[in-house]
Structure 1
Amino acid sequence: MKVQIINTSWGYVAAAWENELLAGLTLPHTTGLEALSTLGEYVKTDLLLSPLPGQPAGPVEQQLAEQVVRYFAGQRVAFEIPLSWARVTPFQQRVLKVVATIPYGKALSYGAVAALVGNPKGARAVGGAVGANPWPLVIPCHRVLAHNQGLGGFGSGLGWKEKLLQLENIDYRTDNRK
């Protein structure tokens, strides 16, 4: 597994690569070591025991770094990075592939995603699938909201979900009103 650290204006993002496929990606952290620790949880490997990231990065790694830096600079980015689907179930794959199609600045409800994957009563299952997303940003799970535009949940914490929604100017509610 190859590891990459990306320095953004919001902090350090870590990425793991397997055979030129993205295996995992973090949101920004204060330090590169914190980002690596979180990334290890995503890919179920202790990356702190791995060699530190080396240079130069390949073309796909450079593309990811440029896109992540642009995203956190407030630019509209459509991530097109090849992913390693080995660590997600077939149902999670179906859900995450639908979530990947949600454009920058837009949102869908958990129920709408459930209907699109052929399980119209499966909003909770969709929540579980997006909660297991190892590629935040590339698969924009923060763009999935509750039926009332509420935040729902977020694997990296609701504070992060709010920051990403605000960055993209997506309307949401912080209360539970119906």
Structure 2
Amino acid sequence: MDPSTRRVGREVVEFINSYIKGDKPKITFKLNVEGLTKFMNKVLAIVSSIPRGFVTCYGCVAEVIENPYACRAVGRALAMNPWPIIIPCHRVVKSDLTLGGYRGGLDMKRELLRIEGVAVTLAGRVLPAHFLEARRLRELSRDAGEKLLTS
């Protein structure tokens, strides 16, 4: 294994350890988007800007990418996210604030949100205080996500 691959591996492990401890780790490495569609790249860039402690819905992500009817396509793109936790697809929920889906299972999604301080009811609904509307998501994502993803 070459030194740069080893370095990135260490940085990923440090990121995840820091995340689990409750810190707000910064991504210090580039994520390779080779093989991802332009649509998926846009979705992941926007989702990467959702701050810890907040969620948004599939429809808001679709609205921010200026394709408001692409809610299901956003969900499919997130289901194929090659970097869960690093690109926080667990922070995207259904428009009724129920958890929706997650490749790692709903118990894992609920636990990741709990670690981040997002309150989820016993019925599996996120409290509205943690929800980001499309307008605010657009502001946050303007330049935050684009610099993370590289081909």
Normalising by structure 1, report the TM-score.
0.63
Q: Residue in 2 aligned with 1:82?
A: 30
Report the structure, 1 or 2, having the larger strand content: 1
> Matched residues in 1 for 2:28 and 2:77: separation?
20
Q: Which runs of 5+ in 2 are unaligned?
A: 126-151
Highest RCO, 1 vs 2 (Cα 8 Å, sep ≥ 6): 2
Distance (whole Å) between structure 2 residues aligned to residue 81 and residue 144 of structure 1: 23
Bigger helix fraction: 2
RMSD across aligned positions (CA): 2.0
User: Which residue identity lines up with residue 154 of structure 1 in the other structure?
Assistant: Y
- Is structure 2 residue 14 aligned with structure 1 residue 66? yes
Letter in 1 for 2:26: A
Contact 1:99–1:113 (Cα < 8 Å) also in 2? yes
Residue 85 of structure 1 deviates from its aligned partner by 0.6
Amino acid in structure 1 at the alignment position of 2:114:
Q
Shift of 1:162: 0.7
Displacement of 1:105? 1.2
Distance 1:115 1:155 in 2: 23
Distance in 2 (CA, whole Å) between partners of 1:77 and 1:136 is 14
CA deviations 1:19-38 (Å, max 9, x no partner) are 75xxxxxxxxxxxxxxxxxx
Report the counterpart of residue 91 of structure 1 in structure 2.
39
Structure 1's consecutive aligned runs of 4 or more residues displaced over 4 angstroms after TM superposition are none
Aligned length in residues: 122
Give yes or no for contact 1:85–1:93 (8 Å, CA) kept in 2: yes
State the distance in 1 between where 2:69 and 2:93 align: 15
Provide TM-score, normalisation by structure 2.
0.73
CA contact (8 A) 1:80 1:138 kept: no
Cα distance in 2 for residues equivalent to 1:113 and 1:153: 15
Q: Which AA in structure 2 matches 1:119?
A: N
For the pair 1:122 / 2:74, whether they are aligned, the reply is: no
Deviations 1:100-130 (A, max 9, x none): 1111111111100000111111111110010
Alignment match, 1:112: 60
In the alignment, structure 1 segments of 5+ residues that lack a partner are 3-16, 21-56
Q: Which has the larger radius of gyration?
A: 1
Q: How far did 1:68 drift?
A: 1.0
Letter in 1 for 2:111: K
* Alpha-carbon distance, 1:141 to partner: 0.1
Taking the aligned partners of 1:146 and 1:112, their CA distance within structure 2 comes to 10
Could you tell me how far apart the structure 1 residues matched to 2:82 and 2:37 are? 12
